[in-house]
Structure formats: structure tokens, C-alpha cells
Amino acid sequence: DYGDARGNLANVLASRGRQTEALVEFEIALKSRPNDAGVRYNYAMLLGGLRRYDDAQRELEACLRADSKFTDAHELLGELLLARNRAAEAASHFREAVAQRPGSARASLGLGMALAAGGDRAGAIASLRKAAASRDAEVKLRAGELLRQLGAGN
């Protein structure tokens, strides 16, 4: 349908670095499909990449209103909130992501970071240990670094 086509076009434009055009196409797609969580998520990714963090947050919140089980949106919103020093809110979204996808090393890493930022050392260590057991080398490395910083190295 029309909304799908515009959303797909927006994704292609964004992937080719044509952000201004992609923004327009996402807005057109959302007019015909305002509850399309996937379009909102991709739009939020573009907005975040353009450092339009308030707009990205609004789109992620709308995405989650449309589909509360959109795990990647919980993770991305958690990352955005953590970067904005809103650790408790970030932890809530990372917890939801971990509950929906228990094996997500990135969600466990994010949760550990949010809990550490919020002062929950024990919770942070538990979550970071799960992340450190990951096969994802980047997550494993970051979790190990944070565990050492917390005095709980492997």
C-alpha cells in the first residue's frame, strides 16, 4: 500500500545518506499509517542519528503505544534515555526488553549500565555478568570493562 511504499522509500533514502528526503518520506508514510510501529521506529532511528533526540524519543514512545512488545524500540529508547541521564526510565525500558528477549546481551548490557548509573551496584553487576557471557564480542568487552570499574571483574 501507499504507506508501506513511502516507508520503504524513506528507509532506502536514509541508507543512502539522503536524510532530508527520508524525513519527508517518513512523515508522508506516517500520515497514511500513523500506528505503524516499524515506520515510527525507523523514523526514530533517523531522528536520533540527526541528533534530534526529543523528536526521536517522541517517535519511540509512539512506536511503543502502537506495539508495546517492540523489543528493539524498548532498547533504543533505553539507550536514548540513558544518554540523557534518565537512568531510572532507561532501566525500565531495558528491563522490558530483557523480559521480552531474555537472551539479548545488548539489553542486559544497557540494563547494567542504567542500574549502575542509578546507584544499584548489585543489580548492575548481575546484569553485566549476563552481558559478559555473550557471544557478541563488543558487548562482552564493554560488560567486562564496566564490571572491572565496579570492582567485580571476571
Q: What is the pLDDT along the chain (154 residues), one digit of tens a residue?
A: 776 888 889 989 999 999 999 999 999 999 999 999 999 999 999 999 999 999 999 999 999 999 999 999 999 999 999 999 999 999 999 999 999 999 899 999 999 999 999 999 999 999 999 999 999 999 999 999 999 999 987 5
Measured distance CA(111)–CA(65) in Å, rounded: 21
Q: What is the pTM of this model?
A: 0.90
Cβ–Cβ under 8 Å, residues 13 and 1? no
For 147, residues 6+ apart whose C-beta sits below 8 A from its C-beta are 125, 128, 129, 132, 153, 154
Q: What is the CA radius of gyration of the chain?
A: 17
Measured CA distances, 70 to 62, 67, 99, 106 (Å): 11, 6, 12, 15
Residue-level pLDDT at 4? 80
Measured CA distances, 105 to 46, 95, 138, 144 (Å): 23, 12, 10, 12
Residue-level pLDDT at 7? 87
Largest CA distance in the chain: 54
Measured distance CA(128)–CA(95) in Å, rounded: 13
Report CA dihedral (96, 98, 101, 102) to the nearest 10 degrees: -140
